Amino acid sequence: MILSHRPLKGALFGSAFPPGDELEDLAKVLGSNMALFYHSYEIILSAPPLRMIWPEGVLGSSIDRFRSFMEEAAAPAEKMHLKAFWAHLKEEKPVTSDIFLLRSGFLFDTSVLGIVFLGFSWGRLLVVIPGEDPARVREQSARLTESPATALRGALDRWVEDMEAEFVVTKLLEQFPEEFRGNSGFSRRTGLPLPEHRMQIYELYYAVRNRKWHRDVIEGEISEGVTQSGLTWKRPGLKSGATSTGTPVLRERGVRIGNEVHIRFSVFVGGVHLLGEIPVPVSALAGGGLVRMNRFIREISTALVSHTQSLTSSHFRFSRFWTERGFSVAGVEEIAKIIDPAGWRNLVLLPFWETGPHSLSEVKAACRVSDPFFYDPAKNMGALLLRDCSEWHARNVVVRHFRNRVSAHVEAPITVGRFLSGQ
């Protein structure tokens, strides 16, 4: 099936992995008259046959235009029926469907239209089913209404989340330091599921060529295990073949590319979501380059989490807790579950109390960019969520580090589980 799709507004690129087989299977049952509305309810994916029914069903068209089309197309007796349908649609149910009688002669060989909307956290998928026999159209729409459509929902969620990742990457590329554009770039990894719990890993690399950003998609290994992030990894110290359900240890590290050593800097969204890496040649970090790159990595983490607040999928939902001074303490549990879905209760928080106008800012400047910072204005206190850090290490090493560097009052570390039970 031919599909038209485009990047999100403001993104340089769309997803390199558009949905395929799942929509093909849907089309075999219900036909290919479908469109996907995102966020502002504009179409970012559509099937050209839809225009034979709804001429304005093209990329960029809005759900309001479809509503106007239906009000024009439906028989006069359907006016109240349509009004009730739009009211049900606003309830944001997983599935909203109905059939409507059309004006005589409005569409060739079509007297009724079945309308099915699948609801998602990021928008809606519209499927239009034309026909002459109301019973047959109702039977067709029921196939989707009564089915959980797990594979279809999973494929569309992955695609939209990857579209959103490209939207976030664009912000990074726009602010990428000029001095590193000629010898560096950005890379991120993603995975597409395969049968038998396997996953095909891809690396996407972004680099400037002829004064423009270009993207290369490189097919990598096939992973035999799957974590919630879609990628497997091994925590240092685990036995051979053992993998963790949390996030990997993340720090700058050196790798050899050709004849030169590169330092790979991890890029985070607010210290929570690992977006990817920036590999920089060691030679480019001389003369203050290391300081400037580290400053950029820290600043872009904050800029990106603010940028993601306009997105609607569950993937970046944690950004709704973000404020100018850090994450709201109300987001501790949800963010901890993102960082380590299985062991989130045992993650360690390091609380700080404000002792002056700049004391908490000192903490943010001294912490790792991979440790989310929480702030409670009512109590004038903050807390760091420490990745890959035991309570013993936090008490005997991390506390000492901060007490020597900041004026804020540093409390004893506490696990997320105990912190939440004591609130």
C-alpha 193/C-alpha 290 separation (Å) is 37
- The domain 324-421 having CATH identifier 3.30.70: the answer here is yes
- Rounded mean pLDDT, 11-36: 89
69: its two tokens: 């089309």
In the predicted structure, residue 324 carries a pLDDT above the cut 60: yes
In the predicted structure, residue 303 carries a pLDDT above the cut 70: yes
Contacts of 286 (CB under 8 A, 6+ apart): none
Confidence of residue 245 (pLDDT cuts 50, 70, 90): very low
Domain boundaries, given as residue ranges, for the chain: 4-147, 175-310, 324-421
CB 141 within 8 A of CB 133: no
C-alpha 341/C-alpha 229 separation (Å) is 10
Burial of 408 (0-12, 13-18, 19+ CB in 10 A): buried
pLDDT given for residue 25 in this prediction = 83
Neighbouring CB atoms inside 10 A of 386's CB total 22
pLDDT given for residue 247 in this prediction = 46
Query: What percent of the chain shows pLDDT beyond 90?
Result: 69
Query: What percent of the chain shows pLDDT beyond 70?
Result: 91
Residue with tokens 């891809």: 202
C-alpha 95/C-alpha 115 separation (Å) is 10
In the predicted structure, residue 240 carries a pLDDT above the cut 60: no
pLDDT given for residue 182 in this prediction = 92
114 phi, psi to nearest 5 deg: -90, 135
In the predicted structure, residue 246 carries a pLDDT above the cut 60: no
pLDDT given for residue 19 in this prediction = 87
Long-range contact set of residues 210-216: C-beta below 8 Å, sequence gap at least 24? 213/12, 213/173, 215/12, 215/13, 215/16
- Rounded mean pLDDT, 336-355: 95
CB 78 within 8 A of CB 90: no
Between CA 94 and CA 104, with CA 100 as vertex, the angle to 5 degrees is 155
Where are any strands of DSSP class E within 18-160? 34-38, 42-46, 95-101, 112-120, 123-131
C-alpha 10/C-alpha 171 separation (Å) is 9
pLDDT given for residue 29 in this prediction = 77
Kindly give the interhelix angle for 79-89 and 63-73, rounded to the nearest 10 degrees: 160
Confidence of residue 254 (pLDDT cuts 50, 70, 90): low
pLDDT given for residue 253 in this prediction = 63
Structural fold of domain 4-147? Beta-Lactamase (3.30.450)
In the predicted structure, residue 225 carries a pLDDT above the cut 90: no
In the predicted structure, residue 243 carries a pLDDT above the cut 90: no
Q: Read off the amino acid at residue 149.
A: A
151 compared with 183, residue with greater pLDDT = 183
Mean pLDDT of the chain: 88
**Helix locations, 175-256, DSSP H:** none
